[in-house]
């Protein structure tokens, strides 16, 4: 997509010289303004941290049913679901730095804004990788990281020959358009591969993998600042159901050597990709060996646990990183914690009357995303801290069961 030149303001050229420059706090006379593109729950939780730091926050969002617009005072509403480059540019000009709630913004637009002097973090080149699974895999491969076995396929014949080579079932992941397992297709045979291929042809090329036997899944967040300071969070363990993250426990019960390796990989990746802010790295443990599944250059669902469990949350550290502030400690401040996502079981599910009963659970922290219920939609999460992972997980599950109406009150 190209920027419509005629709609750019004349200030664009002057502004350009400011490109990629970190905020100089010594020269600030007023609090900086952070711009956030996208109005989901990540924007909502970033805003909560911005309030604590005294940072002004300005949101760019569509008018859709989203979390954050309900809370922000300064909002630029996109004219439609398809955001135009000039309107993003006018928004970005009002901000000292712009960050993202999701990676669905075209990297080409972000690159144009960078050229015109806007401080966009993460940068277009980091976003470009995360927005395309095939590019991401190839880049990680070139950089020498351990990955699951995979091939990049452009034709049905290539996919079928991989099915024959590895044995069915195999897994097809279109390069764009998938999240929360919605872009992960397990196909059992040629005919299923054929129908997935034809229905997703617009998202070629595909990453194709064998269906792996995964011992456990984990994730590590790295946070890297505009100054280059970089820290890794302790590794968490994650459980996915139907490709969607359901539970997170911290600390993850991986062997020490695995945890240390995963933290080192996450820090190296952040620097190799020149990421700024949170970089979330998802790992599979396969036969006791660690491989990188994928990454996301933003606060991540597996990092929500840091709000209660770590000295500095992923949201505060993301803001500190983007704004060039010293990073906060990533260490755990409790012995153990668990997060369980609250996922709608149906459309129009009403959890409100169940909230009091759910919050009777000791240590339960509730985070609701202000989203209407839609079957399989993530509408919130619960975190519980405790002296053991088992206890934290049991209490977090119980809280979510009560909210979902799965656990009936005794009294």
Ligand X SMILES: Nc1ncnc2c1ncn2[C@@H]1O[C@H](COP(=O)(O)OP(=O)(O)O)[C@@H](O)[C@H]1O
C-beta of 242 vs 387, nearer to Mg ion: 242
Residue 151 near ligand X by CB under 6 A: no
Least Å from the CB of residue 149 to ligand X: 8
The DSSP 8-state label assigned to residue 232 in this structure reads E
Least Å from the CB of residue 210 to ligand X: 6
Least Å from the CB of residue 294 to ligand X: 5
Size of the site for ligand X (CB under 6 A): 19
Q: Report the sign of the C-alpha dihedral through residues 373, 375, 378, 383, in that order.
A: positive
Using CB under 5 A, which residues numbered 282 to 301 contact Mg ion?
282
Least Å from the CB of residue 219 to Mg ion: 9
List 222's β-bridge partners, or say none.
232, 279
C-beta of 20 vs 241, nearer to ligand X: 241
C-beta of 282 vs 316, nearer to ligand X: 282
- What is the widest separation between alpha-carbon atoms in the chain? 68
Angle between helices 41-53 and 314-322 (to 10 degrees): 70
Strands 336-343 and 244-250: antiparallel
Least Å from the CB of residue 183 to ligand X: 5
The answer to whether the beta carbons of residues 307 and 315 sit under 8 Å apart is yes
Three-class secondary structure assignment of 170-190: EEEEECCCCCCCCCCEEECCH
**Span interacting with ligand X, options 37-45, 209-217, 347-355, 369-377, rule CB under 6 A:** 209-217
The answer to whether the beta carbons of residues 282 and 292 sit under 8 Å apart is yes
Preceding peptide of 169 cis, ω within 30°: yes
**Span interacting with Mg ion, options 38-46, 149-157, 277-285, 346-354, rule CB under 5 A:** 277-285
Name the CA dihedral angle for 316, 321, 322, 326, rounded to a multiple of 10 degrees: 100
C-beta of 282 vs 308, nearer to Mg ion: 282
Using CB under 6 A, which residues numbered 131 to 150 contact ligand X?
148
Choose, by CB under 6 A, the member of 66, 96, 114, 217 that binds ligand X.
217
Least Å from the CB of residue 376 to ligand X: 13
C-beta of 12 vs 236, nearer to ligand X: 236
Least Å from the CB of residue 130 to Mg ion: 11
State the binding partner of 400 from Mg ion, ligand X, none, CB within 5 to 8 A by kind: none
Residue 294 near ligand X by CB under 6 A: yes
List, edge to edge, every strand of the sheet that includes 206-210.
151-153, 206-210, 170-174, 185-187
C-beta of 76 vs 238, nearer to ligand X: 238
Least Å from the CB of residue 294 to Mg ion: 5
The answer to whether the beta carbons of residues 33 and 96 sit under 8 Å apart is yes
How far apart (Å, rounded) are the C-alpha atoms in residues 136 and 295? 8
| Structure token pair of residue 187 | 């196909």
Of 319, 259, 408, nearest to 47 by C-alpha is 319
How far apart (Å, rounded) are the C-alpha atoms in residues 328 and 314? 10
C-beta of 190 vs 242, nearer to ligand X: 242
How far apart (Å, rounded) are the C-alpha atoms in residues 154 and 90? 38
Choose, by CB under 6 A, the member of 240, 268, 345, 370 that binds ligand X.
240
Using CB under 6 A, which residues numbered 152 to 191 contact ligand X?
171, 173, 178-181, 183-184
| Structure token pair of residue 280 | 């979330």
Least Å from the CB of residue 26 to ligand X: 41
Residue 103 near ligand X by CB under 6 A: no
C-beta of 23 vs 214, nearer to ligand X: 214
Residue 251 near ligand X by CB under 6 A: no
How far apart (Å, rounded) are the C-alpha atoms in residues 276 and 377? 29
C-beta of 267 vs 282, nearer to Mg ion: 282
84 contact partners, CB below 8 Å, separation of at least 6: 4, 78
C-beta of 217 vs 316, nearer to ligand X: 217
Applying CB under 5 A, the residues found at the interface with Mg ion are 282
Applying CB under 6 A, the residues found at the interface with ligand X are 148, 171, 173, 178-181, 183-184, 209, 211-212, 214, 217, 240, 243, 282, 293-294
């Amino acid at each position: 997509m190209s920027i419509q030149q005629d709609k750019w303001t004349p200030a664009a050229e002057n502004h350009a010289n400011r490109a990629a420059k970190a905020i100089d706090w010594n020269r600030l006379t007023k609090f900086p303004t952070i711009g956030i593109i996208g109005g989901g729950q990540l924007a909502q939780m970033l805003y909560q941290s911005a309030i604590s730091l005294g940072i002004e926050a300005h949101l760019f969002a569509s008018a859709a049913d989203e979390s954050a617009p309900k809370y922000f005072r300064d909002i630029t509403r996109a004219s439609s679901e398809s955001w135009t480059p000039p309107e993003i540019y006018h928004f970005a000009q009002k901000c000292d730095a712009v960050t993202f709630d999701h990676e669905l913004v075209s990297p080409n637009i972000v690159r144009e804004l960078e050229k015109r002097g806007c401080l966009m973090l993460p940068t277009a080149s980091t976003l470009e990788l995360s927005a395309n699974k095939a590019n991401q895999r190839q880049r990680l491969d070139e950089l020498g990281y351990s990955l699951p076995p995979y091939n990049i396929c452009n034709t049905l014949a290539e996919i079928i020959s991989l099915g024959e080579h590895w044995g069915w079932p195999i897994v097809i992941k279109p390069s764009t358009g998938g999240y929360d397992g919605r872009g992960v297709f397990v196909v059992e045979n040629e005919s299923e591969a054929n129908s997935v291929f034809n229905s997703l042809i617009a998202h070629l090329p595909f990453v194709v993998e064998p269906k792996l036997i995964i011992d456990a899944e984990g994730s590590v967040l790295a946070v890297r600042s505009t100054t280059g300071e970089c820290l890794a969070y302790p590794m968490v363990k994650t459980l996915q159901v139907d490709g969607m993250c359901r539970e997170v426990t911290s600390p993850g019960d991986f062997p020490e050597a695995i945890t240390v390796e995963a933290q080192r990989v996450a820090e190296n990746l952040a620097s190799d990709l020149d990421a700024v802010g949170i970089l979330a790295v998802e790992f599979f443990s396969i036969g006791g060996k660690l491989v990188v599944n994928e990454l996301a250059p933003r606060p991540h669902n597996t990092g929500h646990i840091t709000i209660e469990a770590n000295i500095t949350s992923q949201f505060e550290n993301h803001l500190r990183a983007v704004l060039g502030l010293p990073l906060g400690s990533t260490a755990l401040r409790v012995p153990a914690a668990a997060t369980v996502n609250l996922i709608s079981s149906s459309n129009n599910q009403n959890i409100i009357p169940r909230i009091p009963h759910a919050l009777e659970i000791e240590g339960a922290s509730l985070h609701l995303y202000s989203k209407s219920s839609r079957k399989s939609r993530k509408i919130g999460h619960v975190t519980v801290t405790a002296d053991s992972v088992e206890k934290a997980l049991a209490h977090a599950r119980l809280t979510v069961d009560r909210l979902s109406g799965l656990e009936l009150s005794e009294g």
